[in-house]
């Protein structure tokens, strides 16, 4: 486990603030983009409806004037129609700050505008060459098309425009609005929201350091205590391993064995051995020699038990009590074979102990007898209740 240091604590707080900032910015950007696209769609629909309705009105007036004059499409009726349109346009101030209607016709290679515009202080703008990159929406209208487009108008401004061709008058009509005007409220809102967001982030950062900081500190301390407990338990388990048989130790610390009072029947193979004449022989030995010999002997016996997978139950003086089949078994037959193999290896390894005992002058008594028994036993586990 990687320890949590004070540097990690500061990083967690800084990263949390950065994450909050990124989330807030991402949400704001997505919101503004969605609202802007929605506003564009709404404005496009409004301009399209406006240009279509005005186009139908202009053509209706032109057809009426043609009927009244008795000469359809004649110069008289056209002049009368334009006079009425201009008269109506004088009182039309447009929509918004830049929205307006533009009426024009193609004369040769020129686009000639017929109505005054707001940007020209209600003067008729100069004509634009057909080959120019200006007046894009009007070119589409005079080409006999209808629809909406984002392009430059005759002033060179980027506009969202709806255009319509008037076949009876052979003119083009455009309803347009500058994109800058459409974007302006979103820019102002973005600036205002950014200021509020940064203030909120600063406030949140302060609260983070005052509230989250102590919580992270508590986690840091808890992690530190957990590491100390892990080290203490590891040392404790290593100490217990010296006093428990490896199979029992593993079954307990690997969670295979549950600490509860219970009794169960199992077929076990029991092994018992001791040294013949041990008491008489050791009476003539110095305590230090006896302790040295006995520790060496029992350690070697324990290593052999572990090697063959037996469970070392206890040492009784010079005696060794081992059983096979609990907590793990390979079957009664294999358990018995393992037990016999262990006993044979113990007998072979005992010759080294005989040479040590020979120094006492009574090596003939340094012989070991082995016993083995198979059968069904009741296995009890006792635990102290607390």
Tens-digit pLDDT profile for residues 140-176: 999 999 999 999 998 899 999 999 999 988 899 999 9
* Residue after which a domain boundary falls, among 148, 163, 183: 183
Q: Given this model, what pLDDT does residue 360 score?
A: 46
Asked if residue 239 is part of any domain, the answer here is no
Tell which wins on pLDDT, 8 or 110.
110
The CA-atom distances, in angstroms, between 272 and each of 72, 212, 333, 343, 373 are 131, 64, 18, 9, 9
The CA-atom distances, in angstroms, between 355 and each of 136, 284, 290 are 114, 16, 14
CATH number of domain containing 314:
3.30.70.1230
Asked if residue 176 is part of any domain, the answer here is yes
Give yes or no: residues 155 and 280 share one domain: no
Tell which wins on pLDDT, 353 or 269.
269
Q: Given this model, what pLDDT does residue 144 score?
A: 93
Q: Given this model, what pLDDT does residue 129 score?
A: 94
Residue 155 per-residue DSSP state: T
* Residue after which a domain boundary falls, among 159, 183, 207: 183
Q: Is the pLDDT of residue 15 over 80?
A: no
Asked if residue 227 is part of any domain, the answer here is no
Q: Mean per-residue pLDDT for 104-118?
A: 89
pTM exceeds 0.85, yes or no: no
Give yes or no: residues 44 and 159 share one domain: yes
User: Beta-carbon neighbour count of residue 335 at 10 Å?
Assistant: 21
Give yes or no: residues 173 and 278 share one domain: no
Q: Given this model, what pLDDT does residue 361 score?
A: 43
CB 312 within 8 A of CB 322: yes
Asked if residue 131 is part of any domain, the answer here is yes
Question: SS3 breakdown of the chain: % helix, strand, coil, rounded to 5?
Answer: 55, 20, 25
Rounded Cα gap, residues 73 and 169, in angstroms: 8
CB 265 within 8 A of CB 379: yes
Rounded Cα gap, residues 39 and 119, in angstroms: 23
Backbone region of residue 354 per phi and psi (left: phi > 0; alpha: psi in -120 to 50; beta: other values): alpha
Give yes or no: residues 178 and 266 share one domain: no
CATH number of domain containing 61:
3.30.450.20
Tokens coding 253: 């610390």
Asked if residue 78 is part of any domain, the answer here is yes
- Domain housing 135: 6-183
Give yes or no: residues 287 and 174 share one domain: no
Tens-digit pLDDT profile for residues 219-250: 777 778 888 888 888 887 777 666 666 766 67
Give yes or no: residues 177 and 311 share one domain: no
Give yes or no: residues 14 and 136 share one domain: yes
Rounded Cα gap, residues 180 and 30, in angstroms: 20
User: Beta-carbon neighbour count of residue 227 at 10 Å?
Assistant: 13
Asked if residue 198 is part of any domain, the answer here is no
Give yes or no: residues 286 and 174 share one domain: no
Confidence of residue 364 (pLDDT cuts 50, 70, 90): very low
Give yes or no: residues 63 and 169 share one domain: yes
Give yes or no: residues 155 and 303 share one domain: no
Distance of CA 67 to the CA centre of its chain: 74
**Considering its fold, how many domains does the chain have in total?**
2
CB 324 within 8 A of CB 338: yes
Asked if residue 241 is part of any domain, the answer here is no
Give yes or no: residues 169 and 267 share one domain: no
Asked if residue 171 is part of any domain, the answer here is yes
**DSSP helix/strand/coil, 61:** helix
Rounded Cα gap, residues 176 and 174, in angstroms: 6
List helix spans (H) across 91-178.
Answer: 136-142
Give yes or no: residues 170 and 275 share one domain: no
Burial bucket for residue 210 (CB in 10 Å: 0-12, 13-18, 19+): exposed
* Residue after which a domain boundary falls, among 155, 183, 211: 183
């Amino acid at each position: 486990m990687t320890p949590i240091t004070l540097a990690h604590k500061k990083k967690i707080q800084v990263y949390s603030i950065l994450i909050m900032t990124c989330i807030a910015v991402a949400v704001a950007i997505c919101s503004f983009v969605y609202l802007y696209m929605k506003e564009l769609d709404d404005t496009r629909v409004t301009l399209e409806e406006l240009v279509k309705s005005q186009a139908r009105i202009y053509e209706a007036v032109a057809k009426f004037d043609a009927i009244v004059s008795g000469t359809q499409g004649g110069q008289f009726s056209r002049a009368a129609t334009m006079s009425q349109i201009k008269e109506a346009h004088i009182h039309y101030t447009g929509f918004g700050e830049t929205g307006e209607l533009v009426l024009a016709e193609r004369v040769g290679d020129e686009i000639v505008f017929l109505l005054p515009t707001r940007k020209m202080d209600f003067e008729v703008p100069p004509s634009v060459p057909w080959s120019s990159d200006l007046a894009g929406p009007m070119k589409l209208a005079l080409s006999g098309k209808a629809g909406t487009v984002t392009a430059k108008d005759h002033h060179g401004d980027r506009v969202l425009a709806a255009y319509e061709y008037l076949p009876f008058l052979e003119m083009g009509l455009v309803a347009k609005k500058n994109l800058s005007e459409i974007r302006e409220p979103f820019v102002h809102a973005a600036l205002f929201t950014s200021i509020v967001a940064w203030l909120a982030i600063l406030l949140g950062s302060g609260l983070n350091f005052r509230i989250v900081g102590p919580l992270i500190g508590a986690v840091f301390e808890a992690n530190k205590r957990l590491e100390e407990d892990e080290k203490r338990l590891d040392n404790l388990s290593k100490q217990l391993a010296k006093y428990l048989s490896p199979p029992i130790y593993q079954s307990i610390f690997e969670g295979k064995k549950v600490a509860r009072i219970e009794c169960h029947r199992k077929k076990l193979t029991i092994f018992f051995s001791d040294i013949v004449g041990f008491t008489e022989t050791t009476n003539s030995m110095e305590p230090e020699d006896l302790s040295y010999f006995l520790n060496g002997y029992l350690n070697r016996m324990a290593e052999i038990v572990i090697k063959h997978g037996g469970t070392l139950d206890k040492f009784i003086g010079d005696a060794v009590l081992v059983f096979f089949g609990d907590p793990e078994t390979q079957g009664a037959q294999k358990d018995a074979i393992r037990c016999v193999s262990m006993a044979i290896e113990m007998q072979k390894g005992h010759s080294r102990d005989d040479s040590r005992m020979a120094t006492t002058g009574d090596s003939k008594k340094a012989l070991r007898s082995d016993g083995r028994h198979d059968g069904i036993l009741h296995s009890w586990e006792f635990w102290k209740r607390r």
